[in-house]
Amino acid sequence: MNFYTRKWIKPEDLNPNGSLFGGTLLRWIDEEAVIYAIVQLGNPHVVTKYISEINFVSSAKQGDIIEMGIEAVNFGRTSLTLRCEVRNKITRKTILSIEKLVFVNLDTDGNPTPHNKTEITYAYMGIEKTNK
C-alpha cells in the first residue's frame, strides 16, 4: 500500500471531543480515493458507488500528522475497488481502515462504462508503465 497524502490536524478539523472529526477524515479519504481511481482509470468521470464498514481504530489529535494509504484490490468491468488505511505518520498507529471503496467508471452521459483496465498503472510524465 502506498501512503500518498499527509495531513496536519488543525483546530478546524476537530470534533467537540477535541479529536479528529470523522466526517472530515471521510471527506479527505473520498477525495484521495477518487483521485487514485481517476488516475488509474484515465477518466475524470468516476463516482463513489459503495463504501464498506469503516473502522475508526484510534483517534488523532491536534498537531498530529497523519497519512492516507490507498491500494487497488480489484479491477471489475466498470468498477475499481480500493482499500484504505489511515495511520499516524510518526507512530504508524492505525487510525482508520476501510476494506472496500468501490468507484464506477462513467461515460459522458453518466452511465457505467467498461474501463478496460486490469492492473495498476504508474503514469509518469505521459509515459505509462505497468508493474509487470
Ligand X SMILES: CC(C)(COP(=O)(O)OP(=O)(O)OC[C@H]1O[C@@H](n2cnc3c(N)ncnc32)[C@H](O)[C@@H]1OP(=O)(O)O)[C@@H](O)C(=O)NCCC(=O)NCCS
Identify which of residues 73 and 123 has a Cβ nearer to ligand X in the complex: 73
- What is the number of alpha carbons within 13 Å of residue 101 lying toward its C-beta? 25
With CB atoms as reference, the residue minimizing the distance to ligand X is 76
Query: Shortest gap between Cβ of 23 and ligand X (angstroms)?
Result: 13
Q: Is 25 exposed, middle or buried (0-12, 13-18, 19+ CB in 10 A)?
A: buried
Tell me how far the alpha carbon of residue 40 is from its chain's centroid: 12
Identify which of residues 45 and 89 has a Cβ nearer to ligand X in the complex: 45
Query: Shortest gap between Cβ of 28 and ligand X (angstroms)?
Result: 15
Identify which of residues 48 and 94 has a Cβ nearer to ligand X in the complex: 48
Which residues form the interface with ligand X (CB under 6 A)? 47-50, 76-79, 102, 104, 112
- Residues 6 or more apart whose Cβ sits within 8 Å of residue 75: 81, 115, 117, 118, 119
Query: Shortest gap between Cβ of 115 and ligand X (angstroms)?
Result: 8
Identify which of residues 78 and 97 has a Cβ nearer to ligand X in the complex: 78
* Cα–Cα separations (whole angstroms), residue 34 to 8, 12, 66, 94: 21, 23, 19, 21
Query: Shortest gap between Cβ of 104 and ligand X (angstroms)?
Result: 4
Q: CA-based diameter of the chain, in Å?
A: 48
